[in-house]
Amino acid sequence: MKVLLPVDGSDNALRAAEYLAEWMQRDGTIHTTLISVANIGRQYLEMLGREEEYLNIVSREVQPLLDAAVKKFSKLGLEVATRVGDGNPAEVIASVARDENYDHIVMGRRGLGALEGMFLGSVSQKVLHLVDCPVTLIK
């Protein structure tokens, strides 16, 4: 089974990683990919000839989020793949899940601040509407 785990550094995302790690320990057939989405406009920066700036942001801001989550799995002897996406987080997560035939998504219920989430809707709610595979939300 292929499972996608979005990682944004929030407490709920870290709890989702712990939940999935426990699930993986019980079921050795689960292959997990952790994804973190940088919503910083890679194409825009590339057009301006500032791809290096994008790469610096990813290595400074995004990669540490993935590294922290990977450690949770590594401590338990579990291997996971990682990837970085760019764009609207819900749309990127849904697109990866759909295009790469993921069987399940496990994610934190809310990573946004309460006020922003109230006006924009949470990423998890948008993902629920965009995918056909099962989604487990962790709070």
User: How many residues are listed for the chain in this entry?
Assistant: 139
Look at residues 86, 17, 94 and name the one whose alpha carbon lies nearest to residue 57: 86
| Domains in the chain, CATH or no CATH each | 2-138 (3.40.50.620)
pLDDT tens digits along 6-54: 998 888 999 999 999 999 999 999 999 999 987 665 555 555 566 666 5
Q: What are phi and psi of 15, to 5 degrees?
A: -65, -35
Q: Is the dihedral of CA 19, 21, 22, 27 positive or negative?
A: positive
- The dihedral formed by the CA atoms of 59, 65, 70 and 76, expressed in degrees to the nearest 10: 150
pTM: 0.84
Look at residues 129, 25, 133 and name the one whose alpha carbon lies nearest to residue 80: 25
